[in-house]
Amino acid sequence: MFKWPLILAFLFWIGMNGCIESEPTLTVEKLEEREIEFPPEPGKNYPVSRINRPYFDEKNQLQWNNDQKNPRICGASSQFECRHKVVSLKPRVDYCCCPNNLCTTETLIGLDNQEEMVWQRDLKRYDEDIIGVSPQTLVLSTLEVIDPKNGSTILEPVIIISHGRKRPKYRFYRLFNPTAFRRKTKDFILFDAEYSLFSTQGGLYLFNPKPEVKELIREGKQRFIRHLNVRNMAPSEDEKFAFLAQMWETRGYPHIEFAIFDLEKKQTIFEERLENDCSCSDPIIVVGKQGHVAIYYRKNNKHILVHYRILPHKGET
């Protein structure tokens, strides 16, 4: 004869322990959701190129910059001469792709508040691209890490010799491998997933390129014909959490989500779907101080900003 009271008590004990183990480590407050209309264009025959980026200012307030970009920053006399984009606002870093005689040069430039050049770094075509941005670091596709304040190298890429030539061992891609660097542990949070009709490989990794330790901390996800991609990420101030801009994608319109991943417990502790089946693009995560973080994305002819504050979870008293 089964002793149902004992069995039920045992199951209850397991359930309570499970709840304790999965108790959230953070409390998430949504402070603001802001829609910004595209400004009307002046009476010209071409659209104005604007910065269109969020940032946290010196007072830790979330701000929006839609100023017209200055094409002369790249050393061009016309905005059609260079392909120019703002990579980071605080500190300011711009990317310039300009024709130069018979070739094209790609350059990163650091600017001060008066848009005067502080540093400059030429990129090697087909080898170097920016796959990670934070106020403390820029990550190149070769896994070289640069200080955005002065352009100095924080971490050198791993170099191998192939056919008598030196080349970087790793090369990742901006659209498929968003990455963040943790300065304390000197490792990378890297998204690298491959999806096919019937299988999933990879996902979210902790990656240390020097001893080549690659730990899968969250597998890629598929639901019917949709698959989950991470399009942008940034570490928290203490580097214990990863803030993720996620998109459930297929051939149709994607879903977009904001998620928080606990890097110590290796689990997702917060997810919020922000849009269902919308024409959304270009998600960006920006991180402030004292737990402030925001996700930005474009939706049709609007810019969307969603502002959160992350607090330590104190539990019930």
In terms of DSSP H, where are the helices of 107-246? none
* Alpha-carbon distances, residue 303 vs 37, 71, 108, 276 (angstroms): 6, 23, 26, 16
pLDDT at 55 over 60: yes
Render pLDDT for 106-132 as a digit per residue (tens, 0 to 9): 999 999 999 999 999 999 876 789 999
Q: How confident is the model at residue 43 (pLDDT cuts 50, 70, 90)?
A: low
* Alpha-carbon distances, residue 178 vs 154, 191, 311 (angstroms): 19, 6, 25
- Nearest-angstrom CA–CA distance, 271 and 293: 14
CA angle 184, 190, 192 (to 5 degrees): 165
Q: Rounded to two decimals, what is the model's pTM?
A: 0.86
Output the pLDDT for position 5.
52
* Helix count and strand count (H, E) for the chain: 1, 25
pLDDT at 256 over 80: yes
Bridge partners of 294, per DSSP, are 286, 307
CA angle 292, 51, 88 (to 5 degrees): 50
Strands, DSSP E only, in 250-301?
255-262, 267-275, 280-287, 292-299
* CA-based nearest residue to 245, from 271, 206, 216, 264: 271
Q: How confident is the model at residue 35 (pLDDT cuts 50, 70, 90)?
A: very high
Output the pLDDT for position 207.
96
> Percentage of residues in the chain with pLDDT exceeding 70?
86
Dihedral, 86, 92, 97, 101 alpha carbons, nearest 10: 150
Q: How many residues does the chain have?
A: 317
Phi-psi region of 186 (alpha: psi -120 to 50; beta: other; left: phi over 0): left
* CA-based nearest residue to 69, from 44, 92, 52: 52
